[in-house]
A and B are shown apart, each in its own frame.
Chain A
Amino acid sequence: MSLPTSTAPTPPKDSTTAPEALRHRSRLQRSRNRVRTTALFLLFFIGFVSVWHITTAGLDDGGLAPTPAATWDRLTEMLTDAFMLDGPNNVGIFYHLVASLQRVLLGFGLAALVAVPLGLLLGTSRVINDGLDPFIQVLRPVSPLAWLPLGLALLRDSQMTAIFVIFMAAIWPILISTIDGVRRVNPLFLDLAKSLETDTKTRIFKVLLPATLPAIVIGLRTALSTAWLVIVAAEMIVGGRGMGHFVWNEWNALNTPSIVVAIVIIGGVGFVLDRSIAQLQRLVPKA
């Protein structure tokens, strides 16, 4: 929180003649609001931990329910051992996280590589789209996890299967959003491209793609968060390293505080992933 200090910041170059006093007051207002939200957040946090403590501490369940204290201990432990590499099956949380991220980014990247060109094609060609649409409509509502056994049977490799499942999770949002984006491109842009006698390559890369980019980024964002949702479940089944596998393992060891820590990490990383792809939206040209 930056409370206004005596050193007045230099006014911006294109400063209008807005009275300095007014601006000072609005800055004061903003920092006051920030103090309020922070205080409210702390209040909620303390309330949450208290309720958590009251409901779990002293519960006669053999220590199954995670208490705040046990969770805190486990958190520090997991963070200190984060980079531990003790045999293939006993590794720190960092390596689980990296394994999950790897699968997600691979599956997501492959999905984008397929879905964006395919979406551009289906968005431009009514005929091809109408032929393929039934497939899309039927396959899209299927949970990506339903593909997992098929993946295991056909690929005979758990790593590849996990990537395949992520691929199936990520492809639909990108495809649908791209098709929709192409359809919304100003038809006059295409008339312009035609009247300039541009070749197909120019038409696609200089007109269609940039005009569709905002829609593609929205699709990518949805796809990435879906992929991050799905990976945990997929890893519980395929095993190996990964956040999902870690959670499932800890459950088998009845080590519930670890699961709470893992949930917080999964949530935090998901948040960061979403934020970083949202940055792409800023690079996209304004229409």
Chain B
Amino acid sequence: MPDMMTALSPTQLEREPVMKIEGITKGFNDRKKGFQPVVGTTDVDIHEGEFITIIGPSGCGKSTILKMIAGLESADEGTIRLAGRPIDAPSRELGIVFQQHVLLPWMSARQNVIFALETDPRTKRSKQELASLADEYLDLVNLSHAADRRPHQLSGGMQQRVGIARAFALEPQVMLLDEPLGALDALTRHELQLQLLDLCEKQKRTFIMVTHDVDEALLLSDRILVMGAGPSARIVHDISVPFSRPREVENLDQDPAYHELRHFLLNSLTGH
């Protein structure tokens, strides 16, 4: 099947999902207002190799969901399972790219990637192996030339690319990206979107990404989960993105289905 129009192949549907989110809820205690529910009951099945995007109004709880998946926050109710096992702590199987860059400022770009690699308790690698592996992943995001620079010597877009390279270097089962391009200008963002598209088509992985950007969501994902407004925000739409891969921006732009979906998403975000 060279031109598959469905996001999920039959084999994927039959297989066990790599991640099962079952009935999770989350709220925070506010000193004045008491308990504030943020995430309402949420169930999602995520299959291996899927690129999932969570989209929704600001403050609805997207980052909170991603943090629960990452094991950095615990859910009040429900469970999240990764390959059958419940997630109760952060794990290297979940590579995170944060909303703002989180590079250690006293290390170069390369050392930041090496740090993620060398802390792996399962595999011991030699210094040379670590360095060449780090360079490989930096090359993946076109940053070989800046490997020796410190974070403050990198532009915002470059910093995020180092963060992406670091998350890839972990070779996690699932990549979690919290608005990885949100803090960038439109031009850089578009450039990195294309890079990310290229990257995820080359390196078949499971992705869960949070974004505000409808075009970004449509360009990259196989499935888009639209969250409603809080409190107790839930997923209101679960949309399969039918465009074939590899994707090209020009092709998408000429596809009436693209504009229809785009319109639908924009409307559901603005509350129609």
Contact = CB atoms under 8 A, between A and B. Distances in A.
B18 interface: no
B100 A188 contact: yes
A282 interface: no
A92 interface: no
A206 B92 CA distance: 18
Interface of B: 70-72, 89-92, 94-96, 98, 100, 102, 104-106, 115-116, 119, 121, 150, 152, 170
Contact of B105 (A197, A198, A285): A285
Contacts of B102: 186, 188-189, 191-192
A70 B9 CA distance: 99
Given A202-B119, A285-B106, A196 B152 contact: no
Contacts of A286: 105-106, 150, 152
A188 B98 contact: yes
A202 B116 CA distance: 11
Nearest to A199: B121
Interface in A249-287: 285-287
Contacts of A199: 121
Given A191-B96, A196-B170, 17 more contacts: A188-B100, A188-B102, A189-B102, A191-B102, A192-B102, A195-B70, A195-B72, A195-B90, A195-B92, A196-B92, A206-B115, A206-B119, A207-B104, A211-B106, A285-B150, A287-B105, A287-B152
Nearest to B153: A286
B106 A197 contact: no
Contacts of B170: 196
A197 B121 contact: yes
A192 B102 CA distance: 7
B63 to A, nearest CB: 12
Contacts of A207: 104
Interface in A131-180: none
A210 interface: yes
Contacts of A194: 71-72, 89-90
A81 B79 CA distance: 81
Q: How large is the interface on A (under 10, 10 to 19, 20 to 34, 35 or more residues)?
A: 10 to 19
A186 B104 CA distance: 10
20 contacts: A191-B98, A194-B72, A195-B71, A195-B90, A195-B92, A195-B95, A196-B115, A196-B170, A197-B92, A197-B119, A197-B121, A198-B119, A206-B119, A207-B104, A210-B104, A285-B106, A286-B105, A286-B152, A287-B105, A287-B106
Contacts of A287: 105-106, 152
A191 B106 contact: no
Contacts of B72: 191, 194-195
A195 B96 CA distance: 8
Contacts of B91: 195, 197
Given A198-B119, A199-B121, A210 B106 contact: yes
B122 to A, nearest CB: 10
A187 to B, nearest CB: 10
A198 B104 CA distance: 15
A202 to B, nearest CB: 6
A286 B90 CA distance: 29
B70 A189 contact: no
A151 B119 CA distance: 46
A286 B152 CA distance: 8
Contacts of B105: 285-287
Contacts of A189: 102, 104
B153 to A, nearest CB: 10
A287 B95 CA distance: 24
Interface in A183-230: 186, 188-189, 191-192, 194-199, 202, 206-207, 210-211
